[in-house]
Amino acid sequence: MGKKVKSNRSADLAPPVEKPAPQTESAGDPPPSDPPAGSKPLEQLWTAMLESIARQRPGLFPILQFAKPLNWDGRKLTIGLYLEHRGNIHLLKSSRALIESTLSQLAGSPAVIETTLIHEQLPPDWVNRKVRELFGDAEEEP
């Protein structure tokens, strides 16, 4: 009444497969090379992009100043726009070709942008900090 199970004896006798040991860095190994061009850190990429766009299209620069880089995966940059500046999102979308070509040049590979709204408010002193960054601490004339 019991069934006989066929056994594949050749599989039972096969030698075990040895896995190579994981390699660890030793003190004599050279340091790892620079990351590929497409993996620039987010803040570094954002700053370089802002500088480049400020030279190419100065009118777009102030709008990007009210945006925040949220994510960069090496191919897609997600840009957040604060809610109080949501009226400018159409300007970002209409300048998509310029932003993406600049981003692609900086990344060294084709790249795209995605825009989204940020559901938080700008920090209260944000405008003052940006003015100081752009124009320095100029003293007022009497």
Q: What's the CATH class of domain 40-135?
A: alpha beta
Spatial contact of 134 and 61, defined as CB atoms under 8 Å apart: no
118, β-bridge pairs: 82
In the predicted model, what is the mean pLDDT of residues 45-74?
A: 90
The two counts, helices (H) then strands (E), for the chain are: 6, 3
- pLDDT at 43 > cutoff 50: yes
Map out the domains of the chain as residue ranges.
40-135
Backbone Cα Rg of the chain: 27
Contacting residues for 95 by C-beta, under 8 A, at least 6 apart: 57, 60
- pLDDT at 66 > cutoff 60: yes
Q: What is the DSSP letter of 31?
A: P
pTM: 0.56
- pLDDT at 124 > cutoff 80: no
Spatial contact of 89 and 115, defined as CB atoms under 8 Å apart: yes
In the predicted model, what is the mean pLDDT of residues 24-28?
A: 47
C-alpha 134/C-alpha 52 separation (Å) is 15
Share of the chain above pLDDT 70, in %: 56
Q: Which residue has the tokens 């007022």?
A: 140
In the predicted model, what is the mean pLDDT of residues 49-72?
A: 89
C-alpha 134/C-alpha 125 separation (Å) is 14
